[in-house]
Structure 1
Amino acid sequence: MLKYLLEKEFKQIVRNTFLSKMMVILPIMTIVVFPYVTSQEVTDVKVCIVDNDHSQASQRLAQKVEASGCFSVAGYEPTYGEAMKGIEEGSADIVLEIPRGFAKSRGRGEEPQVTVAANSVNGVRGGLGSQYLSAVIAAFAAEEGGSEARAAQGMAAGAGPATLYRYNPTLDYKVFMVPGLIAVLITLLCCALTALNIVGEKEAGTIEQINVTPVPKSLFILAKLMPNWAIGMLSLSFGVAFAWAVHGISPLQGLPSIVLFSAVYILVASAMGMVISNYSDTMQQAMFLMFFFLILMMLTCGLFTPIESMPEWAQKITTLNPMRYFTRAMRLAYLRGSSPAELARELMWLGGFAVVLNAWAVASYKKSN
């Protein structure tokens, strides 16, 4: 009986031209386009410089800021007040004020106080921009200070090679984002396809023909699950291939963990779609419920915001989010090459979600209204 149910499901998939297009377009959009859209890098920060010293040392500092590659000089203003008008008007992001006596203080071995004022309307741009500028100033102090202590202080501030970044030495945000986006891809595809497939059969009336047969509910759910599992693994292949071909990101030794965790998580995402479809009578209801839960899952899985930075009550809520464990497993497998044994906790959580949600899907499916 399972053979004929699977034959029916695969024929429906083959006849659905929209699905075949979505299986290619969604990985391209998620893995190829989204990493550039969700860029966490801050470039072309506009700096307005107030040089109150007009010395060669202050000019060298201004030139170093401009040559760093992260900043563009929006202009030179005579006073701090004039420079702040640029921030208020939006023509500048940061004000750098070099005090009078800057060169003389440095000649006496002192560290003059340089003022950095950032526009924090855009907190990320203002915060990272000011950190970049502080690093440039520290590098300038290390290069021209002539003191080993001052040089060490500048390097500790991020100006030199004293800091070693493990697993992502260039701090490329795409290395961090792409594994999480693969988790988003599998969640969207598997959950949406399952939910919309069953609800679509409800609206078309074809599911009634299955309901009047002696097919057990568990067998019906299994027949729906297996094709979606195959589609999910195929989308994983597309995601890994696009990540390597476009961004040069490969899982290295973590491929066994990625395959194992994806195989389990696809069962979780598909079961979520089944549960949603069991409580929905129309496509509109299913889409509303699906996007409601998917948005919550993506916002609390640690993809965009570290879970450790959330309030304590929010961290407790994230323990009920299966996407949290899959995203973490994908990142550790990609960046560190972690084995399944090292990710046993995440695997146990995902396995528990798979059992509970699939059991819920079978129990909530009604063969008769």
Structure 2
Amino acid sequence: MLRYLIEKEFRQLKRNSFLPKLILVFPCMIMLVLPWAATLEIEDLRIALIDHDRSTTSERLTHRIEASRYFVLTGFPSTYREGIELIEKDKADILLEIPRDFEKDIINGRDASALIAVNAVNGTKGGLGNVYLTQILQSQPSQSSVRYLFNPHLEYKVFMVPAMMTMVLVLLCGFLPALNVVGEKEAGTIEQINVTPVSRFTFILAKLLPYWLIGFIVLSLCMALAWAVYGLTPAGNLLNIYLAALVFIFVVSGLGLVISNYSATMQQAMFVMWFCMLIFILMSGLFTPISSMPEWAQVITYANPLRHFMEVMRMVYLKGSGLTDILPQLGILSAFAVTFYGWAIISYKKQQ
């Protein structure tokens, strides 16, 4: 019986002219576009520089700013007022004013100060621009060296790509099966299923298995794109990724079933899914570190399964973590899976 129901699902999927294209195009867009667009790196900040010192040190500082990929020199105003006007006219994002005796203070061992004025309409852009410029001003030759672990070139895409794969699994293995079940409700075919000898377990399993298989295929496609486009391969065991993905698929498909049980129409299900996806992404650490959130928000993130799977993906992909390292996350995801499936079984009422 299960075999014929699964065959029916694949035939319905094949007859749908839009869904197969979405299954292929969506992960490609996620992997090829979002890592470039969804980035917190700020480059090509326009900077105006006022050099009152006219010394070798200030000239060397100017050349370092020009050589940085974060800044583009757009002007050399002679006064602070002219520099502020450049910011007001949106011709510059940052103004740096180097005072007189700047080099003299450095040679005599005194603290050399410079004025930085930042356009903070975009707080993130202004804050990062100030950090970049401050690092250039404070950098001095020394015997120390810095080694960046797991991401030696500080590429933000390396941080984003493994996390993006989780969004693909949420859509394909969680939300699409739920919409499929709700579609049966709207079409009235679920009532026909309910009067047949097909058990609820067989019916639900037939709805989920095709999308589970598609999810693993698309996950493999995403990893292939990560290797081909970004040169990013897992530092750890590939089997650990598939094991974590299997547990996470159970979680999101269970959540999808819960949503489908309480939704009478496709519109209701899509609205609830959009709300869940928005909360999951914002509270997962995808764009902003969880440690920078307020304490009450950090506590809430523990109830977000997306957070734990993203941690696993980044740990295995970037740090090469083994199975023992990701066991806490796998345990939490397993608890989520048991909870959602228990909830789905209780809320699903099959009409005899």
Calculate the TM-score normalised by the size of structure 2: 0.95
Matched, 1:334 2:314: no
Aligned to 1:210: 193
SS class of match (1:42): coil
Q: Distance in 2 between matches of 1:352 and 1:11?
A: 34
Which letter does structure 1 place at the counterpart of 2:322? Answer: S
1:107 deviates by 3.9
1:253 deviates by 2.3
| Range moving further from structure 2, 217-226 or 239-248 | 217-226
Matched, 1:64 2:64: yes
Q: Distance in 2 between matches of 1:350 and 1:64?
A: 48
Matched, 1:166 2:149: yes
Aligned to 1:99: 99
Question: Does the 8 Å CA contact 1:253/1:338 hold for their aligned counterparts?
Answer: yes
Aligned to 2:299: 316
Q: Distance in 1 between matches of 2:323 and 2:178?
A: 30
Q: Distance in 1 between matches of 2:162 and 2:216?
A: 15
Matched, 1:301 2:284: yes
SS class of match (2:324): coil
| Range moving further from structure 2, 288-297 or 105-114 | 105-114
Which letter does structure 1 place at the counterpart of 2:329? Answer: E
Runs of 4+ in 1 over 3 A off after TM superposition: 106-111
Q: Distance in 2 between matches of 1:121 and 1:45?
A: 14
Q: Distance in 1 between matches of 2:17 and 2:254?
A: 24
Q: Distance in 2 between matches of 1:55 and 1:345?
A: 57
Aligned to 2:243: 260
Aligned length: 352
Q: Distance in 2 between matches of 1:332 and 1:62?
A: 40
Which letter does structure 2 place at the counterpart of 1:220? Answer: F
Matches within 5 A, 1:267-278: 267-278=250-261
1:98 deviates by 0.6
Question: Does the 8 Å CA contact 1:225/1:267 hold for their aligned counterparts?
Answer: no
Matches within 5 A, 1:186-265: 186-265=169-248
Q: Distance in 1 between matches of 2:54 and 2:294?
A: 48
Aligned to 1:36: 36
Cα deviation per residue 1:312-350 (whole Å; 9 max; x = unaligned)? 211121111111110110110100111122111100111
Change (3 A) 1:213 1:19: same
Matches within 5 A, 1:136-147: 136-139=136-139, 141-142=140-141
1:218 deviates by 2.0
Question: Does the 8 Å CA contact 2:173/2:211 hold for their aligned counterparts?
Answer: yes
Q: Distance in 2 between matches of 1:12 and 1:210?
A: 16
Aligned to 1:158: none
Cα deviation per residue 1:214-272 (whole Å; 9 max; x = unaligned)? 22222222221211211111111111111111111111323111110001111111121
Question: Does the 8 Å CA contact 1:256/1:339 hold for their aligned counterparts?
Answer: no
Q: Distance in 2 between matches of 1:254 and 1:91?
A: 50
Matched, 1:346 2:325: no
Question: Does the 8 Å CA contact 1:53/1:101 hold for their aligned counterparts?
Answer: yes
1:137 deviates by 2.3
Q: Distance in 2 between matches of 1:178 and 1:80?
A: 43
| Range moving further from structure 2, 86-95 or 342-351 | 86-95
Q: Distance in 2 between matches of 1:16 and 1:355?
A: 32
Q: Distance in 2 between matches of 1:306 and 1:107?
A: 40
Structure 1 runs not aligned, ≥5 long: 143-150, 156-161
Q: Distance in 2 between matches of 1:245 and 1:77?
A: 46
Aligned to 2:161: 178
Which letter does structure 1 place at the counterpart of 2:170? Answer: T
SS class of match (1:35): helix
SS class of match (2:33): helix
| Range moving further from structure 2, 274-283 or 355-364 | 355-364
Q: Distance in 2 between matches of 1:318 and 1:60?
A: 46
Q: Distance in 1 between matches of 2:347 and 2:208?
A: 15
Which letter does structure 2 place at the counterpart of 1:358? Answer: Y
Which letter does structure 1 place at the counterpart of 2:59? Answer: Q
Q: Distance in 1 between matches of 2:109 and 2:255?
A: 65
1:111 deviates by 4.0
Aligned to 1:145: none
Change (3 A) 1:367 1:251: same
Q: Distance in 1 between matches of 2:323 and 2:69?
A: 41
